[in-house]
Amino acid sequence: LNAYLKKTEDLISFVTVDPFTNFSNKINKNIGDMENKGIEFELNVTPIQTEDFTWRIGYNVAYNDNEITNLPDQVEVGGISGGTGNTVQLHKEGYTPFSYWVYKQVYDDNGRPIEGAFVDRNGDNQINDDDRYLYKDPFADVTMGLNTNLNYKSWDLAIVTRASLGNYAYNNMASSRSYEVRATENSILTNLHRDYFNTGFQTITESSLQSDYYVQNASFFKLDNITLGYTFPQLFDDASLRLYGSAQNVLIITEYDGLDPEISGGIDNNFYPRPRIFTFGVNLNF
C-alpha cells in the first residue's frame, strides 16, 4: 500500500502573449502550480501450489487525482480538427488539467441531440463562450491490473489484463465528419462518419464541434496478452525445449464509440490503431 501527495510549482504551459512583444503570439512560460495525490495497492498471491499445478495471481489498483492549485489566467488547449483554431480543453485553477471545455447539448424527447441547440447557462439569451463549462477530463480515476499464471506439469499459461475507469475522450473523428454535407463533398459517400446516423446533423459549426455530446466515456477493460507454452524438459541430455504462442491486444470492452478508448491527451483524431499481434516461438535451453 502506497499513498502519495506531490506538489509541482512553476508548471510550463504554451500561453498567449501580448502583441508585438515576441516573434510568436504564444510562448512556453512558467505560470502555475499543481497538486497530484493518490493511493496505490498491490497484492500477489499463490492460491494453489502442488507438485503438478501452480496458480499465481497479481493484482494492483490505483486512485489518482490531479488539480491545478494556482493559475492566474485560464489557458485554452486541446486543438481539434474541423474549423480553424477551435479548442475543447482548458487549464483552470481548481480543476483537473486538460478538462473538456464544452457547450451543454440539448436533446429531444427521443434522446437525440438537437442540432445547434445548447443550454444558455448564464441566461443572457445568446450562446457564446460564457455558456461553455468544464465537463470531465481524460484521466482515469481508478486504474487496475490483473495477471495470472497457471503451470500444470509441462504446460504454462499467462494472462495479462488491465482496466481504466473514469476517463473520458473527445471523439474528434465523429465531431468533424458526422454531418450530411460531408457525404456530398467530392461526391464521396465514404467521407460520412457513422455517427451521422445518431445525430442527423446537416452541417458543421464551431459550437457543434464544442458540444459535450462528443465527450464520451472511455473507460475500458483490456485483455493485453495471452501466452500458452509447452516445455519438453529433457529433449536431450542437458537441454529443454519450450514451444509457445502468444497474442497481444486480444480484447477491448468499452462503451466508447471510436476505435480505441486509450487516447493520449484525450482527443481522438485519427490516431494509428494498435495492431493485434500473434507470435509463435521456440526456446531452447542447454
Q: pLDDT at position 193, please?
A: 80
Q: Are strands 168-171 and 267-268 parallel, antiparallel or unpaired?
A: parallel
Q: pLDDT at position 18, please?
A: 64
Total domain count for the chain? 1
Residues 141 and 219: their CA atoms lie apart, in Å, by 10
Q: pLDDT at position 286, please?
A: 81
Q: pLDDT at position 26, please?
A: 65
**Could you tell me if 81 and 172 are in contact, meaning their C-beta atoms sit under 8 angstroms apart?**
yes
Residues 139 and 118: their CA atoms lie apart, in Å, by 26
Q: pLDDT at position 94, please?
A: 95
What is the 8-class DSSP label of residue 282?
E
Q: pLDDT at position 190, please?
A: 59
Q: pLDDT at position 96, please?
A: 96
| Domain extent for 16 | 2-285
Helix (H, G, I), strand (E, B) or coil at 110: coil
Written as nine digits, the cell of 203 is: 452541417
pLDDT tens for the chain, residues 1 to 286: 899 999 988 777 666 666 666 666 666 667 789 999 999 999 999 999 999 999 999 999 999 999 999 998 898 999 999 878 899 999 999 999 999 999 999 999 999 999 999 999 999 999 999 999 999 999 999 999 999 999 999 999 999 999 999 999 999 999 988 887 776 666 555 567 888 888 888 888 889 999 999 999 999 999 999 999 999 987 777 788 999 999 999 999 999 999 999 998 999 997 888 999 999 999 988 8
Going by C-alpha positions, the residue among 114, 94, 85, 108 that lies closest to residue 211 is 114
Could you list the beta-strand ranges (E) of 17-126: 26-49, 53-70, 75-79, 87-91, 99-102, 105-107, 113-118
Residues 221 and 33: their CA atoms lie apart, in Å, by 33
H helices then E strands: how many in the chain? 4, 17
